[in-house]
Amino acid sequence: MLNMRRRSLAAVATLTVLAPALPADEPLTMAGVLEAAAASDWRELDQSRALYLYLDSGVVVFELAPEFAPQHVDNVRKLVAGRYFDGLAILRSQDNYVAQWGDPAAGTAAARPLGEASHGLPPEFYRAKAGLEITPLDSTDAYAEAVGFVDGFPVGSDGERAWLAHCYGMLGAGRGNEPGSGSGAELYVVTGHAPRHLDRNVTLLGRTVHGIERLSVLPRGTAALGFYAEASEQVPVRRMRFGTELPENERIRLDLLRTDTASFERLVEARRDRREEWFLDPVGRIELCNVPLPVRAHVD
Amino acid sequence: MLNMRRRSLAAVATLTVLAPALPADEPLTMAGVLEAAAASDWRELDQSRALYLYLDSGVVVFELAPEFAPQHVDNVRKLVAGRYFDGLAILRSQDNYVAQWGDPAAGTAAARPLGEASHGLPPEFYRAKAGLEITPLDSTDAYAEAVGFVDGFPVGSDGERAWLAHCYGMLGAGRGNEPGSGSGAELYVVTGHAPRHLDRNVTLLGRTVHGIERLSVLPRGTAALGFYAEASEQVPVRRMRFGTELPENERIRLDLLRTDTASFERLVEARRDRREEWFLDPVGRIELCNVPLPVRAHVD
């Protein structure tokens, strides 16, 4: 991996639909598993829960998780419908932590009205495990009794509860000290080592599926907590839209590997036991936030 | 943490040397622990193992770990003494993974000679646990039987062995497929979620103590593995120097919190049990790479 002359593992977007099965003697690798995956192992990104963030540098796309945060997802729908986000700004980029956007005037008399949306929602920090199909991950986790995946989202759980985990790229709703002070009007994305101590303390409502590098390379703010010290440093948010609002030719069509498939299980094993020639110690272990959640350009 | 109106936790650089002890009723927080730390809980960065990387955007400083990688540290000394790195380039910036620099012509007839330095060193992927004073961290780790800290470095261990852990900001020596192909002539820094599967597979030789944001915000390369597709995208490395080679006024003097102190132990507890008002669930758990390793501007 840390070698200039390795073959690319990044050819995901060019895979054919009906790739050959892995030869029995082929080492199990991510590339091999994805090449061998059936078309039905992928699902197309649902544009009705694909949230687009437009920056001058390009677009970031999130897949929302209404199963975990129905009220926050619904409130964000109202905010987007009211064009709340259009013309706001990225206010914060803290190294190894998060990028965050919202209304620079929030909390002042000049704050932008939220329209039909709520100013504060009941916490959706976790939900009942009942009713969820969790694909378990065999891993020793520092923060949760058990971990796994639900519909492509990393999840922690204990006896009765399940919650989305703060892995790289997860999308959350900032809040104040009151549990019900989050609304989705201020959003953040994890851009560093998974801050799993935030799990069950704040509502996560989705994950990044395209363009996270637009957020992760943002200049770091120099004020406390990575806020930009000057308004002039803030990065304009041009607009936010749902995919279904966009003309067909502006939609970014993606396929996501289903996490309830044998292909995903093989992928996890390929990443747990690293058989690529470069690895001398095959590791034999894997942590929740190091499991890749493959995304490719949509294949018709 | 994810709230615009919190007090700053980032005033580390302005602490006084003899801060008052924490009032008994004060919640244990990182800021509180650091304010209460004695002058002797800090050690000044040793300029003889402080490695400076000069980019046009500013300087990055690494503290090297000769206890773990004596031969790689020694080889890097020879490379720096021979001015090997001056005028090379950052070749790779892979999102959520690493930034890496070296000779764009490596492996070709135009490769820059290494001078007195070796082209390949025996692996220093781990070492004997004997002879190390490991401050243990009470944590369930996905990748190691036990984890802790040695002189400010995050460490994993098993029965007889100990190794530096691939946390955010760690500095490593790239290698090819042969275990002895690393030399320190190609270096990388972790700029994403800890890729702990690399532990014991490659030599780590230090950690970033200043300026990591110069590396973490670099544009991501679009070629395989985050390599820059065009030479024009590569980011110039102007020079690398050890602190002891620099005029006094160009040295960046830093204090690092000692990890074998009661203050560090209290810091870990403050980060394990989050008592800040914002936290509703105090967590009660912590993972190796989420333990802060405080650095402040040197206090005379």
Give the one of A3, A9, A286 whose C-beta lies nearest to B176's C-beta. Answer: A3
Q: What is the mean pLDDT of chain A?
A: 92
Measured distance CA(A288)–CA(A146) in Å, rounded:
10
Residue of A nearest to B9 (CA): A224
Both A161 and A120 in one domain: the answer is yes
Boundary (domain end) residue, out of A233, A250, A267:
A250
Both A211 and A260 in one domain: the answer is no
Give the one of B197, B202, B283 whose C-beta lies nearest to A274's C-beta. Answer: B197
Residue of A nearest to B166 (CA): A193
Cβ atoms of residues A173 and A227 within 8 Å? no
Measured distance CA(B48)–CA(B275) in Å, rounded:
39
Residue B292 lies in a domain: yes
Both B28 and B66 in one domain: the answer is no
Q: How confident is the model at residue A28 (pLDDT cuts 50, 70, 90)?
A: confident
Measured distance CA(A101)–CA(A287) in Å, rounded:
29
Give the one of A6, A172, A201 whose C-beta lies nearest to B281's C-beta. Answer: A201
φ/ψ of B35, rounded to 5, equals -65, -35
Q: Give the angle B290-B296-B297 at the CA atoms, nearest 5°.
A: 155
Both A120 and A222 in one domain: the answer is yes
Measured distance CA(A16)–CA(A78) in Å, rounded:
39
Boundary (domain end) residue, out of B211, B235, B250:
B250
**Tens-digit pLDDT profile for residues B207-237:** 999 999 999 999 999 999 999 999 999 999 9
Residue A91 lies in a domain: yes
Three-class secondary structure assignment of chain A: CCCCCCCCCCHHHHCCCCCCCCCCCCCCCHHHHHHHCCHHHEEECCHHHEEEEEECCEEEEEEECCCCCHHHHHHHHHHHHCCCCCCCEEEEECCCCEEEEECCCCCCCCCCCCCCCCCCCCCCCCEECCCCCCEEECCCCCCCCEEEEECCEEEEECCCEEEECCCCCEEEECCCCCHHHCCCCCEEEECCCCCHHHCCCCEEEEEEEECCHHHHCCCCCCCHHHECCCHHHCEECCEEEEHHHCCHHHCCCEEEECCCCHHHHHHHHHHHECCCCCCCCCECCCCHHHCCCCEEECCC
Boundary (domain end) residue, out of B250, B266, B281:
B250
* CATH at B219: 2.40.100.10
Compute how many other C-beta atoms are within 10 angstroms of the C-beta atom of residue B249: 5
Residue B2 lies in a domain: no
pLDDT (average), residues A184-189:
98
Residue A2 lies in a domain: no
Question: Is B140 in Cβ contact with A140 (below 8 Å)?
Answer: yes
Both B39 and B51 in one domain: the answer is no
Both A83 and A162 in one domain: the answer is yes
Domain count, chain B: 2
Both B81 and B93 in one domain: the answer is yes
**Tens-digit pLDDT profile for residues B56-99:** 999 999 999 999 999 999 999 999 999 999 999 999 999 999 99
Both A241 and A292 in one domain: the answer is no
Look up the ipTM and state it: 0.92
Range list of H helices, chain B = 30-36, 70-81, 213-216, 262-272
Dig out the tokens for A7 from the structure. 């073959």
Measured distance CA(B125)–CA(B112) in Å, rounded:
26
Question: What pTM did the predictor assign?
Answer: 0.93
Does the pLDDT value for residue B4 go beyond 60?
Answer: no
Q: Which residue has the tokens 């400083």?
A: B61
Both A227 and A90 in one domain: the answer is yes
Q: Which helix (H) or strand (E) is B42 found in, with range?
A: strand B42-44
To the nearest whole angstrom, how far is the Cα of A177 from the nearest Cα of chain B?
Answer: 5
Both A95 and A236 in one domain: the answer is yes
Both A59 and A176 in one domain: the answer is yes
The strand pairing partners of B164, in sequence order, are B155
Residue B3 lies in a domain: no
Residue of B nearest to A102 (CA): B4
Residue B225 lies in a domain: yes
pLDDT (average), residues B238-243:
98
**Tens-digit pLDDT profile for residues B247-265:** 999 999 999 999 999 999 9
Does the pLDDT value for residue B115 go beyond 80?
Answer: yes
Q: How confident is the model at residue A11 (pLDDT cuts 50, 70, 90)?
A: very low
Give residues with Cβ within 8 angstroms of B96, minimum separation 6: A168, A169, A212, A216, B191, B192, B193
**Is A154 an 8 Å CB contact of chain B?**
no
Both B278 and B225 in one domain: the answer is no
Residue A223 lies in a domain: yes
Domain range holding A148? 47-106+115-250
**Is B17 an 8 Å CB contact of chain A?**
no
Amino acid in the structure at residue A1: M
Residue B84 lies in a domain: yes
Burial of A72 (0-12, 13-18, 19+ CB in 10 A): buried
Dig out the tokens for B14 from the structure. 């302005």
Residue from A287, A295, A278, A280 nearest A2 by CA: A278
